[in-house]
Amino acid sequence: MNAPDATPVIALMDRLGSAARSASTAMAAASTAAKNAALLALAREIRAGAARLAAENARDLDVATRAGLAAPMVDRLRLTDKVIALMAEGCEQVAALPDPIGEMTNLRRRPSGITVGQMRVPLGVFGMVYESRPNVTIDAASLAIKSGNAAILRGGSEALHSNTALMALVVRALAEAGLPGDAVQLVPTTDRAAVGRLIAMPQYVDVIIPRGGKGLIERIAAEATVPVIKHLDGNCHVYVDAGADLDLAVRVTDNAKTQKYSPCNAAESLLVHRDVAAAFLPRIGAVFAAKGVEMRCGPRAKALLAAVPGAKLVDATEADWAEEYLAPVISIKLVDSLDEAIARINRYGSHHTDAILTTNHPNAMRFLREVDSASVMVNASTRFADGFEFGLGAEIGISTDKFHARGPVGLEGLTSMKWVVFGQGEVRT
C-alpha cells in the first residue's frame, strides 16, 4: 500500500484512511435504530465522564496557559460544565432528527418501463480539520454517526488531551450500539504532515470540512485533492431600499450588526438608497454611535451622518467595501438604485448572506433572485443564517461555495443522491 519511502505519518494516515473506508460500508448499511442508540449512548457517556473530561481538559488548559496562549483562545478550549452538558444534549438532538439515509424520491415510470428515482446515501468518509474548541469533536462525531458516514477528525494540537478523552467516549458508544469503532477516528498526532495527507488521499476520504480561520481554509482548499466544503469570509450586506419601513430598517440593521460582532453572519456593510438616506442614516447612526460602532463611510453617507452626536466616522477606502470586520465597525455607502446595490453586493460581498429591507415586492423578488449569495433575505436580520435557525437541526459548517451544499450545511450536506432503477427485465433497444 505504501511506497518504500513513505514516512511513518503517511503510513499512519493510510491506516486511518483504510479503516475509515471499511467502517463507512458498515455505517452506510447501519439501521436508524443502531445509529440513534450510539448517539444516546454517547450522551450518557459524556455525562458520566464529565469529571474525567474536565481533568483531561485541565491538562490542555495548563499547557495553553503556560505557553502564553491568548485568553480568548484559552476560553474556546475550556470544557466548562455547561459545554459538557450542551455536548450531551446535542447528541440527543441529533438522535431525534429524521434519518436522511435511504429516502427515495421522485420515483417515476419511464416510457421504457423502468421506474427511476433517487436514493439518499452517505458520502462515505469525511475528514474534518478544526482548531481549539474540543466540542467540535462531538459535533462531528454525532453528525457522522447519524448520516451514516465515517469520519477522520484532526483537532487542534492545543486540545489533544481533551479530544483524546472525548474520542474514547465515542468509541465506547459505537461499541455499545454494535457499530464499528473505526467509524469515527481522531488523528493521534500533532504532526502537520498528517493534515497534508488527510486532504490528499481520495481513495479513503471523500470530502474535507475545515473549520477555522480563513488562512487555514485557504491553505486546505489550495492543497486538497478531494472536494472541500469551505467557509471563507462573511462580508454580509444590509441594503435599505427606497420606501423601506424605517422603524423595521433601524431594528433589523441594528440587530444584524450589533447583536454579536464575531459571527460570520453579522453585517459588515450597509447600503442605503439615496431616497431614504437622509431619513434613515441619522437614526441608525445614533444607534451605532451609542454602541460605539465605527462607521467607515462614503462621502455622501458621511455628510448625512456628520451631525450625529458621538458618531465615529471614518472615510472608507476601497478595501473597506470587501472587509469582514468581525468587530464594532461597519462600512456605509449610498446607492442610487437597486441595480447598483445588487451589483455592489455581487462584486464586494463574499456570497455568504445578504438582506434587503424593503416594502416593494418586485424589488424584494429581484434581490432574492439576483444576489448571488448562499442566503438571501427580505426584511430579516442576516444573523438568522444558521443551521439551527433554518431548521436543519444541526450544522457541520457553512459553505460559501455554490457546488454541492450551499450555506448552512446539516446532515443532508453529508449525503449524496444516487439513481435507483426498478425494472422487470427491460432492455434497451
Distance CA 241, CA 336 (A): 10
For residue 13 the three cell numbers come to: 494516515
User: Given the C-alpha cell 458621538, which residue does it identify?
Assistant: 310
Tell me the per-residue interface mask from 75 to 114 with its own copies, x by CB under 8 A, - otherwise: ---------------------------x-----x-x-x-x
Q: Is 358 in the site for its own copies (CB under 8 A)?
A: no
- CA atoms within a 13 Å half-sphere pointing along the CA-CB vector of 44: 12
Q: Is 31 in the site for its own copies (CB under 8 A)?
A: no
- Is the CB of residue 114 less than 8 Å from the CB of residue 419? no
Distance CA 73, CA 325 (A): 18
What crossing angle do the helices spanning 135-147 and 32-48 adopt, rounded to 10°? 160
Dihedral of the CA atoms 223, 133, 254, 231 (nearest 10)?
20
- With respect to its own copies, which residue has the nearer C-beta, 59 or 406? 406
Burial of 311 (C-beta count, 10 Å sphere; 0-12/13-18/19+): buried
Q: Which stretch binds its own copies (CB under 8 A): 33-41, 86-94, 294-302, 371-379?
A: 371-379
Q: Is 14 in the site for its own copies (CB under 8 A)?
A: no
Q: How many of the chain's residues bind its own copies (CB under 8 A)?
A: 69
Q: Which stretch binds its own copies (CB under 8 A): 7-15, 159-167, 297-305, 361-369?
A: 361-369
Distance CA 151, CA 171 (A): 12
Q: Is 374 in the site for its own copies (CB under 8 A)?
A: yes
Q: Is 361 in the site for its own copies (CB under 8 A)?
A: no
- With respect to its own copies, which residue has the nearer C-beta, 261 or 384? 384
User: Given the C-alpha cell 450518557, which residue does it identify?
Assistant: 44
Distance CA 216, CA 16 (A): 22
- With respect to its own copies, which residue has the nearer C-beta, 104 or 314? 104
- With respect to its own copies, which residue has the nearer C-beta, 88 or 121? 121
Among 34, 183, 295, 377, which residue interacts with its own copies (rule: CB under 8 A)?
377
Among 42, 123, 170, 394, which residue interacts with its own copies (rule: CB under 8 A)?
123
For residue 17 the three cell numbers come to: 484512511
Q: Which stretch binds its own copies (CB under 8 A): 21-29, 53-61, 164-172, 176-184?
A: 21-29
Q: Is 290 in the site for its own copies (CB under 8 A)?
A: no
Nearest to 63 by CA among 83, 77, 50, 52: 77
Question: Where along the sequence are the contacts to its own copies (CB under 8 A)?
Answer: 25, 28-29, 102, 108, 110, 112, 114, 116, 119, 121, 123-124, 206-207, 222, 225, 227, 245, 248, 251-252, 254-256, 259, 346, 355, 366, 368-370, 372-381, 383-385, 389-391, 401-404, 406-408, 416-429
